[in-house]
Chains A and B, each alone.
Chain A
Amino acid sequence: MSGKTINLTLKVWRQPGAKAPGRLETYRAENISTDASFLEMLDIVNEGLTLEGKEPVAFDHDCREGICGMCGSVVNGRPHGPERETTLCQLHMRHFADGDTVVIEPFRARALPVVKDLVVDRSALDQVMAAGGFISVNTGQAPEANSLPVPKDKADLAMDAAACIGCGACIAACPNASAMLFTSAKVSQFALLPHGRPEAARRALAMLAQMDACGFGNCTNHQECEVECPKGISISNIARLNREFIKAALGSAEELPVIK
C-alpha cells in the first residue's frame, strides 16, 4: 500500500462486433493508484468514457480473485500481463511505471473469435469439455468415498492439473493457438485418478478429436502456455495426454469419434 499514482497511455483494441473490423484506440489513464488492479484501472477509464458519452471498453471479468477464468486480455503481448502465475484481475498497477504505454488486445485464435472489444467467445473450450471432460457417474451411483484409496502423489498431481481455470491464456500465448495445455490438464486430472481410468481411452480420443475440430493449432512444444498459465499448469500434462493418446490409439479398442 503505497499511495502512489501513475499515468499511462493505453492502446486498446476496439471492435464493435464479431463481424466488424477493429482497431487500436488510444486512451489516457490518469492518476491510477499503484494499488489498483489492472481491471480497476480499466473501470476508471470506462467511467471516464461513459461520462464523455462514449461506449466503455467491453471486457470479461467476474470474480476478480483469479479463479473464475473469465478475465484475460493480452497486455503488451503477454496474456494476463507481465507477472507470472497472475490473472489480469490480480495484476496490480504497481508493476507498471509512470508514463508506460500499455497495449491491450483480446486473446487471438481462430477458435476464440472476438465478440466485442476484448471479449472473446470461448465456447470451444466447453465443447472440448463436453466431449469427454467428465467421469460418467450419475448422482446416486457413487460408492463410499474412501472405498478407493488414491496415492497422495497422484492425488496431488491430479489437483495440480485440476487447478486450470479455463481462461484460455494458454491458447492466446501459444504461437500456434493450440489448446493442448487446457485439454491435457483435464485429461490428466482424470487419468491420474483410479475413478477416471475406466473411460480414460475414450476420453483422450474424444477430447482430442473435438479439440482438433474446433480449429485450434497443433502443439509444437514452445512451452509458452506453461509460462503464461496463471495457474502454473505444467506441460508434463501435455506429455501425459500424448501418452494417453498412444495407449488409446494403439492399445485400446476405442475408435476416434467422428465430430460433426
Chain B
Amino acid sequence: MTWVLRMFSTSIGKKQLMAVTGLLFLLFLTTHLLGNLSIYGGSPAFVAYAEHLHALGKLLVVAEVGLVVALIIHVTLAVILFFENRRSRPVKYAVDKSGGGGRTFSSRTMPYTGLLILGFIVVHLTTFSHHIVDQTTRNIFQIAVAVFSQKLYLAIYLLGVLVVAFHVRHGLWSAFQTVGANHPKYMPFIQKLSIVFAVIVAIGFGSLPLAILALR
C-alpha cells in the first residue's frame, strides 16, 4: 500500500486530502449549526438536542475521532504546504501586484485564518466540550450563558466565527475545484455557494450567543 502514500504525497494528492478533510469540516459545520439552531426553540430544546447527541454514544465517539484525525491531516498538510509554497519563490517581487483580481482576501489569508481557527477550536473545546467541561451539574445552556456573559470570551467567539467564515469562503469552492468538480454549468453556483455559506456561518453561529443571552 505504499502507492497510496506516494500518490497522496504529490502536490495534488496533498491538496486533495486538504480538500476532502475540509469538506468533512464543512459537513460538520453544517450539522453543528443545524443542531445549535435548536437554541431558538428555547433552553429545553437546546438541552434536549445536546442529550440526543450524547445519546449517540459510540457513534459520536467515532465521529469525534474522525474529526480529530481529519484535523490532524488538515493541519499537518497545511503546515507542509505553507512552507513548501514559501520555498518555491525564494526572491520576492519588489512590487506586490495590485489589481489583477484573482486572489481574494480569503484566499490570501487561508494559512493565517487556519491558524486562528486552530486556536479557536482549542478555546472552544475547553469551554464547551463534554469531555472537558463537566456537564452533569450544569446543562449546556447554563454553561453557554455563563461563558458568553464574559465579554472577552464573547469577543473571541464572534471573532472566531468571522475567521471561520472567511476560511470557508475560499475553502468551499476551492475544495470542489481541488477534487476536480469544476463544470461550466455548476461552478458559478458553487462559487456563489461559497459566499452564501460563509455568510450563513457568520450569521448562524454569530447569532447564537446573542440568542442565548437574550433567552437567559
Contacts and interface: CB of A to CB of B under 8 A. Distances in A.
Interface stretch (A37-45, A125-133, A139-147, A175-183): A175-183
Contacts of B134: none
Interface residues of B, number: 46
* B11, B14, B16, B107 pick with most chain A CB within 10 angstroms: B11
Contacts of B139: none
A256 B102 CA distance: 31
A228 B100 contact: yes
B87 A249 contact: no
Contact of A221 (B10, B91, B107, B183): B107
B85 A249 contact: no
B16 to A, nearest CB: 7
Nearest to A226: B102
A208 interface: yes
B6 interface: yes
Interface residues of A, number: 53
Nearest to B184: A236
Interface secondary structure of A, over-half rule: mixed
A218 B102 contact: no
Contacts of A103: 94-95
Contacts of B13: 245, 249
B31 to A, nearest CB: 25
Contact of B182 (A175, A216, A239, A246): A239
A50 B17 CA distance: 54
A221 to B, nearest CB: 4
A61 to B, nearest CB: 21
Interface of A: 11, 13, 24, 74, 76-78, 82, 103, 105, 108-111, 173, 175-178, 180, 208-209, 211-212, 215-228, 235-236, 238-246, 249-250, 255-256
Interface of B: 3, 6-8, 10-16, 81, 84-85, 87-103, 107-108, 110, 170, 173-174, 177-184, 187
